[in-house]
Amino acid sequence: MARDLNRDRNRDKSVKNGGSSGNNILIKERDRTLATNFKALVVSKTEEDKYIREIKERSTDDLPEGDVLVKVNYSSLNYKDALSAIGSKGVTRNYPHTPGVDSSGVVEQSSSDNIQPGEEVIVHAYDLGVNTSGGFGQYIRVPVDWIVKLPNGLTQRDAMIYGTAGFTAAQCIYKMEHNGVSPGDGEVLVTGATGGVGSTAVAMLAKLGYEVVASTGKTDQSQFLKDIGAKEIISREDSADLSRPLLKGRWAGVVDTVGGDILATAIHSTKQHGTVTCCGNVGGHQLNTNVYPFILRGVDLLGVDSQNYPMQGRVAIWKKMANEWKIDNLELLCNEISLDGLNENIDLILQGKQKGRVLVNLQK
């Protein structure tokens, strides 16, 4: 745990040097006296360059410095967490590491006047679970700037059924609507529809009154997709057609979670002045397109990044997800597991076999 030891050394140094304020010294000294042991998934790198995943006991003393200590009650599994759990250098640089870009829970200690112990919070994105110990542990310590207060209308559990996947789906819809798309405009395509971002996008768009067409590699899950609001299902094979530079214009809007040829095909089949949002790359990072959809149909291609989305917009989107955009039956999307179930589910999501959202109950 070389990295954790370094963190401890830095924390010691900060206490000796007086930290940034007297209040911080008190908090840090109290942390040290009241260290709590907790369970976490820890990914370690072996000497043979393999990555192993174990549930281990850790201490709050191992956590990085930060303004707020949160007891995590729920997290969720995203594709990015699985990449972090297999040593993907594009996600996590240093191991041992606890992944988990998502968390909801209760503030246990705070050195900020803006957040008090006992408040219910959501912490997701920024560096959480990337190179900062994440939500697959029962405690996290983070900067106050990463915290969203749990909005009225959502429980901690609801928030993590959505998680980063649901937030990203909402961001795509928000961008589409700001670009002029509305429910009366015609069909909206969602690709990778049974996945985390895909399934929450299908359900949210249906809730808002859109005609949703779901593209999936799991046509045996058609009933699931219809239950959450899709009106039509198309197969993954039928969603990739690069035979012509422009196809018949069908989509008023697109939420693409897949990238590659499926995104290119979606762009080529978007109708006049339609909007395509792009947030994922499970099907490839290349984009083989041409200028015609843009110069002949005025199609807009909008990128979506949830990780560093500014806090003001983040709070506004969570508020919508808690109110007028709230999915009626979130439980239909939810497969609940404990920390012990993560190992198996990480393998499933890497194989593209996950359906809906995997909710991780940290207190189970």
The reply on whether position 217 binds ligand NAP by CB under 6 A is: yes
Q: Report, in Å, the least distance between residue 128 CB and ligand NAP.
A: 13
Nearer residue to ligand NAP within complex by CB, 166 or 293: 166
Residue pair 147/115 in contact by the 8 Å Cβ criterion: yes
Residues in the chain, overall count: 364
Nearer residue to ligand NAP within complex by CB, 39 or 80: 80
Terminal alpha carbon distance of the chain:
26
The reply on whether position 257 binds ligand NAP by CB under 6 A is: yes
Per-residue tokens: 62: 């191992």
Nearer residue to ligand NAP within complex by CB, 281 or 335: 281
Nearer residue to ligand NAP within complex by CB, 135 or 283: 283
Burial of 297 per CB tally in 10 Å (0-12, 13-18, 19+)? middle
x-or-dash string of contact with ligand NAP, 331-350, rule CB under 6 A? ------------------x-
d(CA 266, CA 5) in angstroms, rounded, equals 49
Look at residues 213, 222, 258 and name the one whose alpha carbon lies nearest to residue 240: 258
Q: Report, in Å, the least distance between residue 238 CB and ligand NAP.
A: 12
Site size toward ligand NAP, by CB under 6 A:
32
Helix or strand holding residue 312 (H, E): helix 311-322
SS3 at position 262 = helix
Which of the stretches 91-99, 265-273, 274-282, 314-322 binds ligand NAP when contact is defined by CB under 6 A? 274-282
Per-residue tokens: 169: 């789906």
Query: What does the DSSP assignment read for 43-84?
Result: EEE-TTS-EEEEEEEEEGGGSPP-SEEEEEEEEEE-HHHHHH
64, 66, 192, 293: which one contacts ligand NAP (CB under 6 A)? 192
175, 283, 289, 301: which one contacts ligand NAP (CB under 6 A)? 283
Nearer residue to ligand NAP within complex by CB, 109 or 215: 215
The reply on whether position 11 binds ligand NAP by CB under 6 A is: no
The reply on whether position 193 binds ligand NAP by CB under 6 A is: yes
Closest CB to ligand NAP: residue number: 195
Nearer residue to ligand NAP within complex by CB, 133 or 265: 265
Nearer residue to ligand NAP within complex by CB, 130 or 181: 130
The reply on whether position 265 binds ligand NAP by CB under 6 A is: no
Q: Report, in Å, the least distance between residue 102 CB and ligand NAP.
A: 10
The reply on whether position 252 binds ligand NAP by CB under 6 A is: no
Q: CA 358 from chain center: how many Å? A: 11
Which of the stretches 55-63, 133-141, 280-288, 327-335 binds ligand NAP when contact is defined by CB under 6 A? 280-288
Per-residue tokens: 111: 């050195």
194, 265, 277, 289: which one contacts ligand NAP (CB under 6 A)? 194
The reply on whether position 165 binds ligand NAP by CB under 6 A is: yes
Strand partners, 124: 102
The reply on whether position 218 binds ligand NAP by CB under 6 A is: yes
**Phi and psi (nearest 5°) for 252?**
-80, -30
> What is the β-pairing status of strands 51-59 and 68-77?
unpaired
Nearer residue to ligand NAP within complex by CB, 111 or 221: 221
Q: Report, in Å, the least distance between residue 320 CB and ligand NAP.
A: 17
The reply on whether position 258 binds ligand NAP by CB under 6 A is: yes
d(CA 111, CA 344) in angstroms, rounded, equals 38
The reply on whether position 164 binds ligand NAP by CB under 6 A is: yes
Count the alpha carbons within 13 Å of 19 in the hemisphere toward its beta carbon: 16
Look at residues 199, 146, 148, 129 and name the one whose alpha carbon lies nearest to residue 170: 199
Residue pair 136/75 in contact by the 8 Å Cβ criterion: yes
Which spans of this chain sit near ligand NAP (rule: CB under 6 A)? 78-80, 164-165, 168, 192-198, 216-218, 236, 257-258, 262, 279-283, 304-307, 349, 352, 354
